[in-house]
Amino acid sequence: MEWGIIGRGAAAALLTALLLEQKVVLVSSRPARLTAAAQAASALLHPLRWSQVYVPLVPRSHLSVAGAPFPYVLGVPAHLLPALGRAAPTVGVGGELWVWLDEGLVQGAPP
């Protein structure tokens, strides 16, 4: 992951969320950035491997997975946020860690 986008502290929060098998939602207006960030997040776990749901670029038809009770890493294009009920960076109410790649924000914290 590009450290200039979210910073080391935010990357540490992301790693913590992944190790605790929390829900992680990556958001960007650029699909290439979403897929690269999802791959980088997965690489942070090395030598471990993410064995939960991993969708680096979620299509509109599969947005319902964001309401699932199991851990996931989802890359959500910014233009699909209204379909999720999110229009701007907000703390996830479902225990998710939200990584806003275009804004460089990480919100929500692992318990």
Q: What is the pLDDT of residues 34-56, one digit of tens each?
A: 999 999 999 989 999 999 999 99
Q: Which structure tokens are listed for 12?
A: 């540490």
CA distance 55 to 109: 21
Half-sphere exposure (Cβ direction) of 44: Cα atoms closer than 13 Å: 21
Lowest mean pLDDT among 9-13, 34-38, 46-50, 106-110: 106-110
Residue 92 has pLDDT above 60, yes or no: no
